Amino acid sequence: MDAVTNVPVPVNEPVKGYAPGSPERESLRRRIAELEGDKHELVQTIGGRKRLAGGAAFDVVQPHDHGHVLGTCAQATPEDVADAVAAAKEASPAWREMPFDERAAVFLRAADLMAGRHRDTLNAATILGQSKSVQQAEIDAACELIDFLRFNVHYARRILAEQPNSVPGTWNRMDYRPLDGFVVAITPFNFTAIAGNLPSAPALMGNTVVWKPTPTQQLAAHYTMEVFEEAGLPPGVINLVTGDGQAVSEVALADPGFGGLHFTGSTATFKFLWRRTAENLDRYASYPRIVGETGGKDFVVAHASADREKLLAGLVRGAFEYQGQKCSAASRAYLPRSLWESGLRDELADLTRTVKYGDVTDLSVFGGAVIDARAFAKHKKLLDGVEADNDLDVLVGGHCDDSVGYFVEPTVLVSGDPAHTAFATEYFGPILAVHVYDDAAYGDILELVDRTSPYALTGAVFADDRAAVQQAHQALRFAAGNFYVNDKPTGSIVSQQPFGGSRGSGTNDKAGSMFNLLRWASPRSIKETFDAPTAIGYPHMG
Ligand SMILES: NC(=O)c1ccc[n+]([C@@H]2O[C@H](COP(=O)([O-])OP(=O)(O)OC[C@H]3O[C@@H](n4cnc5c(N)ncnc54)[C@H](O)[C@@H]3O)[C@@H](O)[C@H]2O)c1
Ligand SMILES: N[C@@H](CCC=O)C(=O)O
């Protein structure tokens, strides 16, 4: 039980610009060169001890220059995962009994280290390992991760302060215990911030964690773990295991002490993990909490009253920043014929052609490569098939090349068939599918947007006509967990737009908010009576 103290009031971490000649650009450049020159041994951290996983070794490379190896990593074996589970269990009693303020101080300190001395390292690792431009690395590996850590402390304190009423003669209290079991955090490649938040949010609430980042995000995950430790995280609170996760689902999800899953990644993987949990239900001591944020097929709908320049910038930034590899990326657009035929078509093609992908260590590029050979192959197959598809036209882009890095051109596909799979399938790359509709069919188009894809993550409407905005608000109420008006559907900020979607997009527990943190607490209600009755009779008994 914790004393109620004030925690520091958080503000969003300011985004640095890295303009040519700026001191932050030079400092980052130096750190990129240092990390590029190192050959990292990407070890596990189990009970505070470092060791390479016992399974098959693999290289972690730069996606934009796949011949350049950043480090060696290895697949976790069942024994590695069993050790991580044992370490999480062993660390649990001391960690959960530690006062909240002491736990919070670890993560606040980590946030300050990330904002200062280690900012360049996390940004450089994210640029090199995940092929992010400097802007995309800065908003993720620096700002969003720092915001998660600071705001989570603030929200957790608000949860602890939420207490029941007490009437004269009694004192009612709520004890926000952690879950009665360890948490497994399984994290995606595309956000260093998400990878750091998924293990640290349950840990802040007093849980101990087995964390499995994805191999392609391992370099930044490695440094994130080092910062947590430097900030004073006790051994065993977060245990990092490496590899593809097979041993995690076999061993950790089958353990009787499994208390919760904090997942972000594809819908298919989440469904697999949920099924695995269901299969093991009879083994568990408690019902595990399952939190998963998954895929999207995020839309932009423009009304005929939309401002075309804002719409264009929203489409191109929304679809092509980070090579379309944000779960929030605009990947289907519904545009009115009046705008399309009066210039929007050519303007969209021209603006898309200005988007340059290349080696992101050249800080002037807009973006880099897709994450790995598997993602590249998926995009190549899709683009190779477009020519033979009578229902799809390429407006711009359509090529890919993996001779040096896994590069896919920013591509706009146009289809007259709004039921085409291009409007329903998450490709997770720089591909935007466009459908042009007759202006008068705006209401029908909103209905179509709502029912076309199985996902409901993000979406945007562009309109200057207020009635059109209101119509979209209503018609698309369940089509997106994050809805934007006259803005791109990406770039949510912790504390400003709590993030998450429903339907096929996840459990919508809103990362970086009180709602998410509540999932990692198991409240105990305590009633104390100061002068308890000594008789058993009631007035009605006479
Ligand atoms: N909704 C959100 O907030 C959000 C945020 C980021 C990414 N995403 C989604 O994530 C996906 C992209 O990320 P990804 O490619 O890393 O996803 P992914 O599903 O391939 O992998 C996610 C994690 O699951 C692990 N994994 C895969 N199979 C596993 C198994 N059998 N057992 C245990 N672990 C296993 C991976 O190693 C990785 O750590 C996209 O679908 C994107 O939309 C969603
Ligand atoms: N929070 C990020 C999305 C994270 C998913 O990949 C955004 O809003 O763009």
Out of 269, 298, 502, give the residue to mutate to test ligand 1, the one with the largest number of ligand atoms within 8 Å of its CB.
Answer: 269
pLDDT-above-90 percentage for the chain: 98
Please choose, from the candidates 484, 344, 309, 461, the residue with its C-alpha nearest in 3D space to the C-alpha of residue 414.
344
Span 392-441, pLDDT tens digits: 999 999 999 999 999 999 999 999 999 999 999 999 999 999 999 999 99
What is the helix (H) or strand (E) element at residue 239, kind and residue range?
strand 238-240
What is the number of the ligand 2 atom nearest to the C-alpha of 329?
Answer: 9
**Per-residue DSSP letters for 439-482?**
GGGHHHHHHHHHHHSSEESEEEEE-SSHHHHHHHHHHTTTT-SE
Tokens describing residue 378: 């998926």
Q: How far is the CA of 151 from the centre of ligand 2 (A)?
A: 17
Ligand 1 centroid to Cα of residue 295, in Å, is: 9
Residue 178: which of 204, 152, 210, 148 has the closest Cα?
Answer: 204
Give the pair of three-digit tokens for residue 62: 């730069």
The per-residue pLDDT for range 487-526, each reduced to its tens digit, is 999 999 999 999 999 999 999 999 999 999 999 999 999 9
521-529 and 170-178 beta bridge pairing: antiparallel
Summarize pLDDT for 325-344 with one digit per residue, the tens. 999 999 999 999 999 999 99
Compute the average pLDDT of residues 359-384.
98
Whether the complex's predicted ipTM surpasses the cut of 0.95: yes
CA of 497 to the centre of ligand 2 (A): 10
Strands 49-51 and 298-302: unpaired
Give the separation between CA 496 and CA 147, rounded to whole angstroms. 11
The amino acid occupying position 488 is K
Residues 6+ apart with CB under 8 A from 91: 47, 208, 234, 235, 236, 237
- Nearest CA-CA partner of 306 in 477, 472, 127: 472
First-to-last C-alpha distance (Å) of the chain:
42
Which residues contact residue 337 at a Cβ distance below 8 angstroms, ignoring those fewer than 6 apart? 436, 437, 438, 439
Q: Give the list of residues 6+ apart from residue 57 with CB closer than 8 angstroms, or none.
A: 72, 73, 74
Q: What is the pLDDT of residue 7?
A: 87
CA separation for the pair 71, 48 (Å, rounded): 21
- The Cα–Cα gap between 119 and 112 comes to 9
Instruction: Please give the helix or strand (H or E) that residue 58 lies within, else none.
Output: strand 57-62
Q: What is the pLDDT of residue 28?
A: 98
Task: Supply the mean pLDDT for the chain.
Answer: 98
pLDDT of residue 165: 98
Give yes or no for residue 5 having a pLDDT over 90.
no
pLDDT of residue 160: 97
Closest CA to 431 of 402, 460, 392: 392
pLDDT at 369 over 60: yes
DSSP H helices, 46-118, are 78-97, 100-115
Q: What is the model's pLDDT at position 304?
A: 98
- Residue 70 phi/psi, 5° resolution? -90, -30
Average pLDDT over residues 332-359: 98
SS percent in the chain: helix, strand, coil, step 5: 40, 20, 35
pLDDT at 4: 65
- Ligand 1 nearest-atom number relative to CA 506: 1
Contact 151, 7 (CB under 8 A): no
User: CA 432, CA 400: separation in Å to the nearest integer?
Assistant: 15
pLDDT at 300: 99
* pLDDT score for 457: 98
Rounded distance from Cα 214 to ligand 1 centre (Å): 8
The residue with tokens 């290895």 is 74
Rounded Cα gap, residues 259 and 288, in angstroms: 5
Catalytic residue numbers? 293, 327
Report residues whose beta carbon is within 6 angstroms of any ligand 2 atom. Answer: 190-191, 326-328, 490-492, 499
The band of 1, judged by pLDDT with boundaries at 50, 70 and 90, is low
Q: Which helix (H) or strand (E) holds 335?
A: strand 330-336
Tens of pLDDT, residue by residue over 19-54, are 999 999 999 999 999 999 999 999 999 999 999 999
Q: Mind listing the pLDDT tens digit for each residue in 170-189?
A: 999 999 999 999 999 999 99
Are 487 and 313 in contact by the 8 Å Cβ rule? The answer is no
- 206-234, pLDDT tens digit by residue? 999 999 999 999 999 999 999 999 999 99
CA distance 98 to 89: 15
pTM reported for the whole predicted model: 0.98
Name the 3-class secondary structure at 293. strand
- What stretches of 90-181 adopt beta strand conformation (E)? 170-178
Share of the chain above pLDDT 70, in %: 99
User: CA angle, 473 as apex, 469 and 474 as ends, to 5°?
Assistant: 120
Q: Are 250 and 279 in contact (CB under 8 A)?
A: no
200 contacts: CB under 8 Å, gap ≥ 6: 107, 110, 148, 149, 152, 228, 238
For residue 523, the cross-strand partners are 176
Pocket-forming residues, ligand 1, beta carbon under 6 Å: 186-191, 194, 212, 214, 244-246, 248-249, 264-266, 269, 272, 293-296, 327, 426, 428, 457, 499-501, 505-506
Which protein residue's CA is at the shortest distance from atom 3 of ligand 1? 293
What pLDDT band is residue 3 in, cutting at 50, 70 and 90? Answer: low
